[in-house]
Amino acid sequence: MPDSSATLGTWHRQQCDSAGEIVGCIKGRICHDEADLDSCIGFSKPAGGFAPHAEQISPAVVWPIAALLDLEIYKVFRRRGLGSTALDQFFAYARAEGAWIAFLRVGWWGCGDRYAARDRNISWYSRRGFRELKPAAPQILTPYMYRFLG
């Protein structure tokens, strides 16, 4: 069984494959208002707050929002569909908690070309229904993405 916990609205679980081996981890949080979202996504300082992003979410921001805070599948287990499965489980958890929107800040992981890693992640999430939000300021290099659930 995957280790799973939901403390104070934060959901954290080890991701396992069908044989029960731990292959990665995923973390999310159900955010009920802007302050809550800001406390875990942290965009108020570099990104000028949530408002410039919220106005790009169509048709409207609906609370609660499910913030995806971390998703990692360990390198040797990638490209087997496990990341997609983990994301689907996060969506199911988010819907069960009443969320209609999933939101994330794209991570820059690993060594090598970090811009390439970021762009790969943007593509990966885009293929899974996420839309990229325009940065609120030119210095912001970690894009935010969202998708409707349902």
Ligand X SMILES: CC(C)(COP(=O)(O)OP(=O)(O)OC[C@H]1O[C@@H](n2cnc3c(N)ncnc32)[C@H](O)[C@@H]1OP(=O)(O)O)[C@@H](O)C(=O)NCCC(=O)NCCS
* Contacting residues toward ligand X, per CB under 6 A: 71-73, 78-84, 104, 106-107, 109, 121, 124, 127
CA R_g for the chain? 15
Q: How far is the CB of 59 from ligand X (least distance, A)?
A: 25
Residue number, 73 or 102, with CB nearest to ligand X: 73
Residue number, 45 or 75, with CB nearest to ligand X: 75
Of all residues in the shown chain, the one whose CB is closest to ligand X is 83
Q: How far is the CB of 87 from ligand X (least distance, A)?
A: 8
Give the number of C-alpha atoms closer than 13 A to the C-alpha of residue 34, restricted to the C-beta side. Answer: 10
Residue number, 50 or 130, with CB nearest to ligand X: 130
Q: How far is the CB of 42 from ligand X (least distance, A)?
A: 14
Q: How far is the CB of 82 from ligand X (least distance, A)?
A: 4
Residue number, 64 or 143, with CB nearest to ligand X: 143
Q: How far is the CB of 14 from ligand X (least distance, A)?
A: 13
Residue number, 19 or 60, with CB nearest to ligand X: 19
Give one DSSP letter per residue of the chain, joined into a string. Answer: ---EEEETTEEEEEEE-TTS-EEEEEEEEEE-SHHHHHHHH--HHHH--SHHHHTTSSS---SSEEEEEEEEE-GGG-SSSHHHHHHHHHHHHHHHTT--EEEEE----SSS-HHHHHHHHHHHHHTTT-EEPPPSSTT--S-EEEEE--
